Amino acid sequence: MIRNSIALLLSLLLVVSCSTNSHKAKVEGKVNGLTNSEIVVKILNINVQSVLDTIKVDQKGEFRYTVKLSSNSPEFYYLYYKDRKIASLILLPGEKVKLLTDTLGVNPVVEGSTESSLLISLEKKISQSQARFDSLRVKMQEALAANDAQKVTELNYALGSVYVKQKQEAIKYIYTNPGSITNMILLYHKFSAEVPLFTDLRDVLLFRRVYDSLQVIYPGSLYVSRLMDEITVRERSEIINSKILDASQRGFPEISLPDTKANIRLLSDLSGKVIVLSFWSVTDANQRMHTREYFDLYEKFSSRGLEIYQVSADTDKTAWARAVAEQQIPWISVCDGLGANSPSISTYNIQNLPANFIIDRSGSIVAKNLYGTALEAKLASLLK
């Protein structure tokens, strides 16, 4: 009886030990150019990196570290020397990873972790694309400051080209690696706060594709769970936007906001006109450029019944008013200084800026987010 109890106890201890070990991953690494120092380990908590631990690096630049994972799902880890990231890892329970990097994080090499290798390669490509985008943005600022309209147009096309190419490559990557958790990095990538890679509501189909693949492989992953939250929000937004576009029988939702002289301007006061309802922010040079496009349209069509009602999503009303004055905007420009919390933003379910809605003479919203030749053609057809 005692012998059986001991055997049962040993069995239970073995099970517990195996279970505990199954949630661990081991990392052996070398940091070239670093001796007798420390590196910092950070873990990705959804969208924020938090410090997890510090690792001692010996006189040869080598270290060993055991990571205790919270579940059987992969988790993102980042190694830092001072303020510079020197390696990115995606670790799964039971993995034994070898890492070679340096104090600048240039071309780290990983063995023993397929997901980590994919992540490092992906981050390198994203970084290259981001560098091109940032360089063009700087040149765009310079061209705008110099009032070089031709250069602004050229740079706008160049920026668009970088964006489109990156999105095409991202979609190809997602389809090529359907079961990789690295797809999460692409889905949430942003060139800047105002330029997410996947901004179109129809991109929700891509989010769902990634979710369906990962949910089968990693059903307990917090990252995958949060992805479903994002899908839910996007699908709800798509339904709301569809209802807005189908609201001809109800007319457009009212907006009542102050202009630069503190006069309350009602959107409904423009009823009977063809209206471009525009949402923008003066802090983004690209959005100012979109506003410049409206000048030609306003000059061409205002005598035929075109009106523009432009809503600023800025919190700095002084900066907004100054921008309106500097550009000598002739149409209605309004702002309540509440930014993303403005009732007008929520009423029209604005997810990204810039945005616009085209309202015909009957008060029906007939199109949204049209720019360039597409917008001009639509206005010409409505103002015959």
* Total residues belonging to the chain: 384
The confidence score (pLDDT) of residue 271 equals 86
HSE-CB for 161 with a 13 A CA cutoff? 8
Mapping DSSP to helix (H, G, I), strand (E, B) and coil, where does residue 195 land? strand
CATH number reported for the structural domain that contains residue 42 in this entry:
2.60.40
Same domain flag for 34 and 100: yes
Same domain flag for 274 and 163: no
Same domain flag for 196 and 303: no
CATH number reported for the structural domain that contains residue 367 in this entry:
3.40.30.10
Same domain flag for 81 and 156: no
Same domain flag for 241 and 260: no
CA distance 357 to 277: 5
The confidence score (pLDDT) of residue 251 equals 58
Element at 265 (helix H, strand E): strand 264-266
Amino acid identity, position 124: K
CB atoms within 10 A of CB 78: 18
The confidence score (pLDDT) of residue 105 equals 93
CB atoms within 10 A of CB 382: 19
Burial state string for 330-355 with b = 16 or more CB within 10 A and e = fewer than 16? ebbbbbbbbeeebebbeebbbbebbb
Q: How far is CA 151 from CA 140, 145, 148, in A?
A: 8, 11, 5
CA distance 4 to 234: 58
Same domain flag for 136 and 75: no
Considering its fold, how many domains does the chain have in total? Answer: 3
Same domain flag for 125 and 236: yes
| Cβ pair 359, 368 in contact under 8 A | no
Domain boundary among 245, 265, 293: 245
Q: Does residue 2 fall inside a structural domain?
A: no
Q: Does residue 113 fall inside a structural domain?
A: no
Same domain flag for 201 and 176: yes
Which residue in the block uniquely carries the two structure tokens 């099970």?
A: 15
Q: Does residue 6 fall inside a structural domain?
A: no
Q: Does residue 100 fall inside a structural domain?
A: yes
Could you report the average pLDDT of every consecutive run of 10 residues in the chain (384 residues)? 47 42 85 95 89 95 93 93 95 95 94 96 94 93 88 83 87 91 93 83 85 92 90 74 50 84 90 92 78 89 94 90 91 90 81 89 85 92 90
Read off φ and ψ for residue 81, nearest 5 degrees: -115, 115
Domain boundary among 213, 245, 277: 245
Cα distance between the two ends of the chain:
98
CA distance 207 to 365: 28
Instruction: Report the candidate in 188, 173, 171 with the shortest Cα–Cα distance to residue 229.
Output: 188
The confidence score (pLDDT) of residue 14 equals 42
Q: Does residue 348 fall inside a structural domain?
A: yes
Please work out, in degrees rounded to the nearest 5, the angle formed at the alpha carbon of residue 202 by the alpha carbons of 201 and 206.
110
Please work out, in degrees rounded to the nearest 5, the angle formed at the alpha carbon of residue 156 by the alpha carbons of 152 and 161.
150
The confidence score (pLDDT) of residue 238 equals 62
Domain boundary among 225, 245, 265: 245
Amino acid identity, position 11: S
Q: Which residues pair with 89 in a beta bridge?
A: 77
CA distance 69 to 35: 28
HSE-CB for 212 with a 13 A CA cutoff? 8
Residues 6 or more apart whose Cβ sits within 8 Å of residue 346: none
Which residue in the block uniquely carries the two structure tokens 């009542």?
A: 256
Give the global pTM. 0.59
Amino acid identity, position 238: E
Same domain flag for 201 and 306: no
Query: Domain range spanning residue 90?
Result: 19-108
Q: Does residue 8 fall inside a structural domain?
A: no
Same domain flag for 288 and 219: no
DSSP state of 268: G
The pair of three-digit structure tokens given for residue 247, joined into one six-digit string: 């609201």
CA distance 382 to 231: 35
φ/ψ region of 159 (left if φ > 0, alpha if ψ in -120 to 50, else beta) reads alpha
Same domain flag for 227 and 310: no
The pair of three-digit structure tokens given for residue 330, joined into one six-digit string: 């002739």
CA distance 99 to 109: 6
CB atoms within 10 A of CB 168: 10
HSE-CB for 147 with a 13 A CA cutoff? 2
Element at 68 (helix H, strand E): strand 62-68
Same domain flag for 218 and 261: no
Q: Does residue 10 fall inside a structural domain?
A: no
Q: Does residue 1 fall inside a structural domain?
A: no
